[in-house]
Amino acid sequence: FRWIGLHLPGYKYPPVVPIGGVRGMRVWSLNGDDGGFREDLRVLGASVDAYDGGVYEIEAPLDLLPGIAGLWWVEMIRPRPAGDS
């Protein structure tokens, strides 16, 4: 399968029901861990809890999803499973 269209930032995360508040998320990096990537997330308003094997564990308001998805190094974003901290 080969993608031939635009890969818009909104394709990097699933549709969410806006509940408001802060949500735990997992952000997959295309290029490993980098202090600059952590700073990108902090500048947008997310807090980085951890990094493990290509995945950042973050806390961020849902309205930050489009901005986070727009970062060049973000492969995909998924909600953190309930009870996972």
- Predicted confidence at residue 4, as pLDDT, reads 64
pLDDT > 90 fraction of the chain, expressed in percent and rounded: 49
- Predicted confidence at residue 2, as pLDDT, reads 61
DSSP code for 71: S
Per-residue pLDDT reduced to its tens digit, 1-40: 565 666 677 778 777 655 556 688 999 999 888 889 999 9
Q: What pTM was computed for the model? A: 0.78
- Predicted confidence at residue 6, as pLDDT, reads 67
Distance (Å, whole) CA 26 – CA 3: 24
Distance (Å, whole) CA 74 – CA 39: 13
